[in-house]
Chain A
Amino acid sequence: MILEGKTWKYGDNVDTDVIIPARHLTTADPKELAVHCMEDIDAAFAVNVQPGDIIVAERNFGCGSSREHAPLAIKGSGVTCVVADSFARIFYRNAINIGLPLLELGSDAKKIQAGDTLRVDLAKGIVENITRGEAFQAQPLPGFIQEIAQAGGLVSYVSGVRK
């Protein structure tokens, strides 16, 4: 699958408390969560994010609480993919499980700036920065995780494959 979109750029250690603060955890509806997504570090995000946009961050994106509400909020805001230097492990699992694609890009993530337009080839793990004419190769997803991602998440995978 090829995704193309404008980027929102964040730094190191973006934690799930700022992706979606606990005060909004009285719902698990992605659309309701999306209204508050990132509000504690970037009030402009929820207001201006467009369907198809891509989040790019640096090290340890999604650290902290295991709340699946964090990838749900991002997905609910219309973001199609998150690219980062590295991800915290529970966030990584959760995103795969709910069908939010992720790509781990290592330190190349630093070279992408806010507002750049990216073209992302998920299967090949290639991130092309159209604005700057650069291309980067991400770590490919392990085969088994690709299967979960292709099934559209863990529940479809479990219901389909293992019945």
Chain B
Amino acid sequence: MAMTMTEKILASHAGLESVQAGQLIKAKVDVVLGNDITSPPAIAEFNKIGRPVFDKDKIVLVPDHFIPNKDIKSAQMAKTLREFAHEHDITNYFEVGRMGIEHVLLPEEGLVVPGEVIIGADSHTCTYGAVGAFATGVGSTDMGAAMATGDTWFKVPSAIQVNITGSMPKYVCGKDVILTLIGMIGVDGARYQSLEFTGPGIANLSMTDRLTIANMAIECGAKNGIFPIDGVTIAYLNGRTKKTYQAVSADSDAIYTRKIDIDLSDLTPVVALPHLPENVKAVRELPEISIDQVVIGSCTNGRIEDLKQAAVIMSGKSVHPKVRTIIIPGSQAVYLEALEKGYISTFIKAGAVVSTPTCGPCLGGYMGILAAGEKAVTTTNRNFKGRMGHVDSEVYLTGPAVAAASAITGRICGPEEMVK
């Protein structure tokens, strides 16, 4: 029977010849991920089951959300995670100083590869669909149970085919692709479904673009977003992973519930206005919106290519006097590379702050919380009410080039303005 990529991966992990949409299955997992917020409750549930961990090499624990510890309570949570990691001799525990934002770190370290089933107690676990894995977010109880059993249950999702053609014009990035798609189908447009990206345009998307796109699949309700495995994937994995993997591809007659066409050449830089990621508008169509803060980073746009896009815009310029600009490299490796390439000094000279890797402001944790009435342009993935601070603050989601240009002018603007 014809299967999508997602169906094939789920079938192989369920030990079945084939599966079809709607079927409930029990599948083996290759990676179980947790962070400093979701792991402590998962550990409590794990302890109730009273079994050892199923495989110490397949559990990945990353303190990143309130890390370095923002207060005493978060210090306690981080301690729970650290002690669990040591007690069970977890191979992939990343201490402060060696960590990164989980979804930047795992691909970078080669811990996620094509054809795998990955669950994480974090909704943006879907990021790893970029390398051709089935990856999805779950809750803490699912994580705790899977750490004991090595498997979990799924309802096989039906799939939406996103057919990508063309190549991106200058200043358009992966963020514009996914925001445009979310704007088209809405925040529940792919609810319970898989987004399967196909088409000749994919060859024109870098791994950074793909990671950004897959990262936000959850913002239209998708269970996962998945890319085909091609030369870009293999080049990215070479020298990065020690794992062996199998390339899986969709059958040519796989069944999709819907097909959406996106021609990359038609895209333009966009912004998602408060308070939903589906409120997408072209930057050039916006009225004048002055801003108080810019954040460049996160699991969506905290990779070296993202920082490069921002640095190119900010080079030799100054951040607007009324704007606070916070730049957060997504991992220690990204930080170091940005330092070596001179991006960090560009940011500091422009009057921005550079932070150690952390989720911090993205979820309203710390390192840049908004006051009542303040507006922020950020490269993160959610602009829900109160997401980054006061319930009366506003978050505008964009790619790094728009965020950098807006930091300079003090209002939301496109990067073309910088080069005029």
Contacts and interface: CB of A to CB of B under 8 A. Distances in A.
29 contacts: A13-B276, A15-B384, A17-B385, A17-B387, A18-B385, A18-B386, A22-B387, A23-B364, A25-B65, A26-B71, A59-B188, A60-B188, A60-B191, A60-B221, A63-B221, A72-B41, A93-B142, A94-B141, A97-B139, A98-B139, A144-B24, A145-B24, A154-B45, A154-B145, A155-B48, A155-B49, A158-B145, A159-B49, A159-B50
> B24, B73, B148, B384 — which one has the most chain A CB atoms within 10 A of its CB?
B384
A78 B205 CA distance: 48
A131 to B, nearest CB: 28
Nearest to A28: B41
A68 interface: yes
Given A68-B41, A89-B191, A89-B223, A94 B139 contact: yes
Contacts of A17: 363-364, 382, 384-387
Interface string B47-68: 0111000000000000001100
B267 interface: no
A86 interface: yes
Interface in B139-158: 139-142, 144-145, 148-149, 153, 155
B149 A93 contact: no
Contacts of B223: 89
A5 interface: no
Interface string B86-129: 00000000000000000000000000000000000111010000
Interface string A106-145: 0000000000000000000000000000000000001011
Contacts of B37: 22, 25, 67
Contacts, number: 127
Nearest to A23: B364
Interface size class of B (residues with CB under 8 A): 35 or more
Interface string B354-366: 0000000001110
Contacts of B74: 26
B192 interface: yes
A41 interface: yes
B418 interface: no
A57 B169 CA distance: 41
A89 B50 contact: no
A13 B220 CA distance: 11
A68 to B, nearest CB: 4
Contacts of B188: 13, 59-60, 63, 86, 88
Given A22-B364, A23-B364, 8 more contacts: A17-B364, A17-B384, A18-B385, A66-B125, A86-B191, A97-B142, A98-B139, A158-B49
B38 A89 contact: no
Interface string B386-411: 11000100000000000000000000
Interface of B: 24, 37-38, 40-41, 44-45, 48-50, 65-66, 71, 73-74, 77, 121-123, 125, 137-142, 144-145, 148-149, 153, 155, 187-188, 191-192, 218, 221, 223, 276, 363-365, 382, 384-387, 391
A153 interface: yes
Nearest to B276: A13
Interface size class of A (residues with CB under 8 A): 35 or more
Contact of B148 (A18, A65, A66, A158): A158
B328 to A, nearest CB: 16
A2 interface: no
Contacts of A40: 385-386, 391
What are the 10 A-B residue pairs with the smallest beta carbon separation, nearest first? A26-B73, A94-B139, A60-B188, A97-B141, A68-B139, A66-B123, A28-B41, A22-B363, A66-B137, A68-B140
A106 to B, nearest CB: 13
A21 B386 contact: yes
Given A63-B187, A90-B123, A155-B45, A21 B364 contact: yes
A21 to B, nearest CB: 6
A12 to B, nearest CB: 8
A124 B296 CA distance: 50
> B40, B123, B364, B391 — which one has the most chain A CB atoms within 10 A of its CB?
B123
A89 B221 contact: yes
A48 interface: no
B44 to A, nearest CB: 7
